[in-house]
Amino acid sequence: MANFGGHAIPGTFFMLYGFWLTVKHILQYNWRTRQPKGRHIMPPFFKKMEYVEGGFQIFASFVGIMVEQFVVDGPHARLYNREASSWVKLMNWQHSTMYLFFGISGVALIASTLIKKVPTGVDRLTISMALFVEGFLFYHHVHGRDPLDAHIHSLLLVAVFGGSASTMLEVFIRNNIILELTRAGLFILQGTWFYQIGFVLYPLNGDLWDLKLHDNMMFVTMCFCWHLAMALLLVASTSSAVWLTVMRFSEKRREIEIGMRDTSSMSGSQKALLEQSDEE
């Protein structure tokens, strides 16, 4: 997929996934902070979100693998060409391998939501592994390219391995909103950086960059930091927007409840329950 589109498609997916994660984790965090201590059974709505996420991961990975394999110039599930004594389209096979691991993480997410006995953290472990494999393949993918090409891909690895490490931490430190948003932010960063790679290596206006100029590498390094700042900003503003929206909704509901409470008669235990949920 050595063209602009081939970088824009995964970029779009990673960005959307990052936003989805931000929204999901802020909703969960909001819900957690409202619960009395000790109660941590997820409501069905969150379970549904996990199923949707896992299902989408599996679906997207499957489509991704199929496209990589059966695209016109793809390997068509053929790995080794005996006549030519050479491997067939290793790049497509590598991409398929990356998709495979994201698919596995989807399976793990669904399994750990569905089956109580699957140890918590398996979903994060598999995401961490998927990112590790992505980074691992990219890392061995980069040797022998032009300096700027190699450098811009190795910057991607900062986001990928950073995400892998922070997600691995989540296996042990559960329900830490900072780690969860870090993961979301690093997915967004990965997404925007894929776009940046596309813009630099396959410029839309056809104005090719000098792949050996040192100044270009310096700019690209700095540009990565700007993307990081932007990812931070996007996560912060999305989080705030979601939080405020939830607050407004729950306040409205509270007002309705208060109105209802005044007119209806209820037992003491019901009142206590309501008041408990009203305490922020």
Residues lying near its own copies in the complex (CB under 8 A) are found at: 29, 33, 86-87, 90, 93-94, 97, 100-101, 104, 117, 119, 121-122, 125-126, 129, 133, 136-137, 140-141, 144, 158, 171-173, 176-178, 182, 214-219, 221-222, 225-226, 228-229, 232, 243
Q: Residue 50 or 261: which CB sits closer to its own copies? A: 50
**By the 8 A CB rule, do 97 and 137 touch?**
yes
Place of tokens 């592994």: 129
Nearer to its own copies, 33 or 264 (CB): 33
The span from the CA of 54 to the CA of 108, in Å, is 8
Q: Are 61 and 93 in contact (CB under 8 A)?
A: no
Q: Where are the beta strands (DSSP E) in 20-133?
A: 80-81, 86-87
CB of 11 to its own copies, least distance (A): 22
Q: Shortest gap between Cβ of 82 and its own copies (angstroms)?
A: 10
Smaller CB separation from its own copies, 182 or 238: 182
CB of 119 to its own copies, least distance (A): 5
Instruction: Report the half-sphere exposure of 152 (CA within 13 A, side-chain side).
Output: 28
At residue 100, φ and ψ (nearest 5 deg) are: -50, -45
Minimum CB–partner distance for residue 240 and its own copies (Å): 9
Centre a 10 Å sphere on the Cβ of residue 124 and count the other Cβ atoms it contains. 25
Nearer to its own copies, 70 or 87 (CB): 87
